[in-house]
Amino acid sequence: MRMSKRFGLTLREAPADVEVKSHQLLLRAGFIRPLAAGIFSYLPLAKRSITKIENIMREEINGIGGQEMTMPVVHPADIWKETKRWYEIGTEMGRFYDKNERDMVLAMTHEEVVADLIRREIQSYRQLPQLVYHIQTKWRDDPRPRAGLIRVREFTMLDSYSLDANEASLDEQYRAHYQAYFNIFHRAGIKAIAVASDVGMMGGSMAHEYMYLTPIGEDTLVLCDGCGYHANRQIATFKKKDAAAETALPAEKVATPDVSTIEALAEFLGVPKAKTAKAVFMVATMREAGTETQKLIFAIVRGDMEVNETKLTNALKAHELRPAHPEEISSIGAVAGYASPVGLRSNKNVIIIVDDAVPTSPNLVAGANEAGYHLRNVNYGRDYQADVVADIAAAQEGDGCPRCGQPIYLSRGVEVGNIFKLGTKYTEALGGTFVDEDGSSKPVIMGSYGIGVGRLLACSAEENHDDKGLMLPITIAPYHVHLVGMGKMEKEADQVYEQLAAASLEVLYDDRDESAGVKFNDADLIGLPIRLTVGARAWKEGGVEMKLRHSDERIIIPLDNLVNTVQAQIDALFAEVQATVVPVPFEE
């Protein structure tokens, strides 16, 4: 490809509001252009990289028995209503009417479509197991698109779906995907870790997220170097420090003027935060018998801990949570900043839930439900009861690992993929059954596995760059070779280009009438793995200068050995990447 003919310009600077490095470089190098918030055009360079990523995905999923197909982007709402997700998913789902006023959906994911296909195509256990996948466009109307391709509204995903007759077969396919996905990430040039995660709107019995560790990530991960424990903070457990045993003392009301935070309370009374009870008020949307109800949630954790909203949502089996308004808190007789469940009047629309560390923590300081006052020596069981006792606390830096007890640490990460054991949620809803060997009818067991293609490109750009530009690995770089013609060496450079093209090498040829500085800067910005320079000095020596993007070393390659040398270097770079593709132990 000649740069004089290439569609898409390089930019000297990225827009001022673009902060993430991968976003800056993909814009400047002419890979992507924004159309609207979270919606991008992929220019020819990006399209070539995206195609290479997709082909890596195909190779790995085909390698574990996958069959590629294509499913629609537009769905009739009926199948989403059958699984109830039409009613459960909020405004991020793209809903519209067709010309016949029928409800339609823009695909967020394809579990419903697969389950519909199952009920049409699968009849017998003899047809199982199966593994189907597609690489298709999705739409999720995210209210906060950010960081270029990291968080978008329109995107392309690899979706793989396993279909099994029993749990053992599902386990086998799940673990096959677990390794195949690591292979994809390593071949695309990023180091990912797998963490246990919440099943969320997908449902099911198990889920793992693949995380690229980076400060720009929105997810917080809980990690332990001692035993390798990895989990998303949303569901991470930890060893809670046991409170010292004490005799329960009589409750005592004390004046605490203008003391409405845990930090201020601990300082005012001279007690550690672990000796206080923290009150958090939320409003939960609950679905009961097909109807929605709003309930005030009074959550209590020890003052040295924080409430984990995902754990809280799961413990309550709530549809969603939001912070309570002041008037909702006061309606039950509680006083914000001075609240406790002690002495609250009974209210069927209030659910009291306490973290499981609270019942074993005696003589805590809690609110008195009176501005300016708290209660010393509040004890669970004697002074109040909860509707639910559960682990609702968020893991924090330095807490004990739930496996080995060593201190955990927190890290940020970007989710680049996820895998789910869906079970029979979707096939039961849509009637996707098969006749088993014993003659009984059973629902097909599903697994779902996804990777965002554009996000993977962005994360590779985030991982593989320097201060001059991109350094994408050869496996996904848009071209392998960047050929630069210098000065008045147009004919000679054309000759080299034709020689390389005749050997079917992937070459981006800068044949523009630009200065050497502009050409070299653009070569570094685009960041192809190998740069060849046709210049007068090297030509007099009978060759072409070769430089690798990740090295400062320059060597002269004789013309009569140019193709073989470049091909050998390409093969060596591929081998370096392939060496990173290693077995990864499965972590529950």
Are 403 and 224 within 8 A, CB to CB?
Answer: yes
Strand order in the sheet with 350-355: 320-323, 277-288, 291-302, 350-355, 388-390
Give the tens place of pLDDT for each residue, 462-502.
999 999 999 999 999 999 999 999 988 899 999 999 999 99
For residue 61, pLDDT beyond 90 = yes
Q: Is the pLDDT of residue 347 over 80?
A: no
Q: What is the DSSP string of 547-561?
A: EETT---EEEEEGGG
- Helices assigned H by DSSP within 31-110: 44-63, 77-82, 85-88
**Domain ranges across the chain:** 24-190+419-462, 252-390, 481-578
Separation in Å, CA 282 to CA 74, 325, 339, 392, 422: 36, 8, 13, 13, 29
Euclidean distance between CA atoms 321 and 486, whole angstroms:
63
Helix, strand or coil, per DSSP, at residue 293: strand
Residue 199: pLDDT over 80: no
Residue ranges with strand state E in 119-273: 130-139, 154-164, 192-196, 206-213, 219-223, 230-232, 252-255
Task: Say which DSSP state 399 is in.
Answer: P
- Between CA 299 and CA 306, with CA 302 as vertex, the angle to 5 degrees is 70
Could you tell me the pTM of the whole model? Answer: 0.90
Distance, in Å, from the CA atom of 210 to the CA atom of 214, rounded to the nearest integer, reads 13
* DSSP 8-state symbol, 207: E
pLDDT exceeds cutoff 80 at 588: no
Q: What is the pLDDT of residue 290?
A: 63
Q: Report the alpha-carbon distance of residue 8 to residue 10 in Å, rounded.
A: 7
From the candidate CATH numbers 3.40.50.150, 3.40.1350.10, 3.40.50.1360, 3.40.50.800, the one assigned to the domain spanning 481-578: 3.40.50.800
CATH architecture of 252-390: Alpha-Beta Complex (3.90)
The DSSP bridge pattern shows strands 409-423 and 206-213 to be antiparallel
CATH 3.30.420.40 fits 24-190+419-462, yes or no: no
In tens, the pLDDT along 531-584 reads: 999 999 999 999 999 999 999 999 999 999 999 999 999 999 999 999 999 999
The reply to whether domains 24-190+419-462 and 481-578 share a CATH topology is no
